[in-house]
Amino acid sequence: MTRVLKDRGYLLIAETDRGCHLDDARQFARSARLPPPLRHPYLWMFRTYVAGQGLDLDEARELIASHELVDTAVQRVTGTPFLQMIGTRRERPRLAGSEPS
């Protein structure tokens, strides 16, 4: 995504948080409007196959730091099992006499 982002373009990514709190995952499962008997299997599947395959907070910070972004932030979204990663594409230097694209 950062490769095709325009100079000074804003990047916002929401990702499941592998390290999310169980209470946040439970609340997320309750919000799925499933019949009560299906909530526990849904919670297990979500934590194992969705959040379990996501990033944790430290991995997300490393990922954002590895790109040409400024004004970056990585944080948990309070009360949810998600992370938010934001940043702005650094302005690339222009060659003398080149036209902006």
pLDDT in tens, 48-78: 999 999 999 999 999 999 998 999 999 999 9
Query: Taking the complete model, does pTM exceed 0.85, yes or no?
Result: no
Report CA torsion sign: 55, 58, 59, 63. Answer: positive
User: Confidence band (pLDDT; 50, 70, 90) for 2?
Assistant: confident
Q: State the pLDDT at residue 42.
A: 95
**Per-residue pLDDT, 101:** 55
Question: CA 44 to CA 8: how far, in whole Å?
Answer: 40
